Structure 1
């Protein structure tokens, strides 16, 4: 199952929790789902979906990795985006219980856009636990 996400800024976050949940089959009693963003300049993280914290995450990444001065910038000027996404990673794996991602009370899945605005594709794979064990 795949879905797309439109982003509107160079460095931003988008809550994709509901889209991931909609990708999990209702009849999956228990297992795992893995969400994977199919790009090298975007990432997925499990984090609290609170606007100030999302802003803090964006600021932190901006402060941690300078916007310019990298060798890859000679090609297309987005080395900072690759480095930021690389720090976070392209995927998250979440337990599934009763057909739903089993996230904690304050946990959401955020797509972290590092080279927007763009259209991003996220694939979700659900694996049902073997019930014979």
Structure 2
């Protein structure tokens, strides 16, 4: 399954949990679900979907990776986005139990946009046991 996600700012998070969960087939009782963002300047993370924490995550990435001063900036000015996405990683794998994503109480899947606004593509694959 393929998902398209629109982002609205350069560095932001978007909760994609429900959209990924919708891709779990009705007849799949147990297995795994893998989600992969098909871009080098965005990532996926399992984290709490709480606005202040999402803001903290964005601030943390800004503090950790400066906006400017990278060699790749000579090409297209977005080295910070690549570096931030490299820290996060492009994918998550989640168990499926009783036909649903087996996430903890406070866990959500967040797309972390590092070079927006953009249209992002996620591939979602499920495998049964």
TM-score of the superposed pair, with normalisation by structure 1: 0.96
Structure 1 residue 72 displacement after superposition: 0.3
Which residues of 2 match residues 1-133 of structure 1 at below 5 A?
Answer: 1-129=1-129
* Structure 2: distance between partners of 1:66 and 1:99: 42
* Structure 2: distance between partners of 1:73 and 1:26: 46
Q: How many residues align?
A: 129
What's the secondary structure of 1:67's corresponding residue?
A: coil
* Structure 1: distance between partners of 2:26 and 2:113: 29
Structure 1 residue 99 displacement after superposition: 1.5
* Structure 2: distance between partners of 1:11 and 1:24: 29
Indicate conservation of the 8 Å contact 1:25/1:99, yes or no: yes
**What's the Cα RMSD here?**
0.4
What is the CA deviation profile of residues 5-28 of structure 1, one whole-angstrom value per residue up to 9, with x for unaligned ones? 000000000000000000111111
Residue segments in structure 1 that go unaligned for 5+ positions in a row: none
Indicate conservation of the 8 Å contact 1:27/1:98, yes or no: no
What's the secondary structure of 1:23's corresponding residue?
A: coil
